[in-house]
Amino acid sequence: MDIKLILTKDEPFGELQLSAVNQKSPAYYTLKEVSKHFSYDSCWIIVWNRIYNVTDYLQQHPGGMEIILEFAGSDATSAFIDKGHSRVAVEILEDYYIGELTPEDRLYPDYSSP
């Protein structure tokens, strides 16, 4: 995956990073904790080191719930980005934000650092 592409200012993920920076004291979760939420009853996903509880969105997803469930309890960054979701989709995703992945479990570097 070409990470630089995602970080250009016009990309929706630029805003996603900004809102991460603006968070005052986010909740941090380990990958182990996230991995417990791998089902229809409780579905958490990680996108860009941020954690989303998308359980209540599963039934509304235009691409079907199965595709999200494939990534339940794990990192869905490349799946979410590769599909080319719209800005609206990114905004909807933000409604389900619950916290940040603990730094030692991160798959991607922290772009808010210099």
Positions in the binding site for ligand HEM (CB under 6 A)? 45, 54, 57, 61-63, 67-68, 71, 76, 79-80, 83, 85-86, 88-89, 92-93, 96
Q: Which is nearer to ligand HEM, 17 or 76 (CB)?
A: 76
Least distance (Å) between residue 87 CB and ligand HEM: 8
Q: Which of helix, strand or coil describes residue 89?
A: helix
Amino acid at 28: Y
Instruction: Rank residues 20 and 92 by Cβ distance to ligand HEM and give the closer one.
Output: 92
54 vs 101 by CB, closer to ligand HEM: 54
In contact, 76 and 108? CB cutoff 8 Å: no
Between CA 21 and CA 64 the distance in angstroms is 31
State which residue, 48 or 104, has the beta carbon closest to ligand HEM: 48
Q: What is the DSSP letter of 38?
A: B
State both tokens at 49: 């080191």
Spatial contact of 6 and 13, defined as CB atoms under 8 Å apart? yes
Residue whose Cβ sits closest to ligand HEM: 63
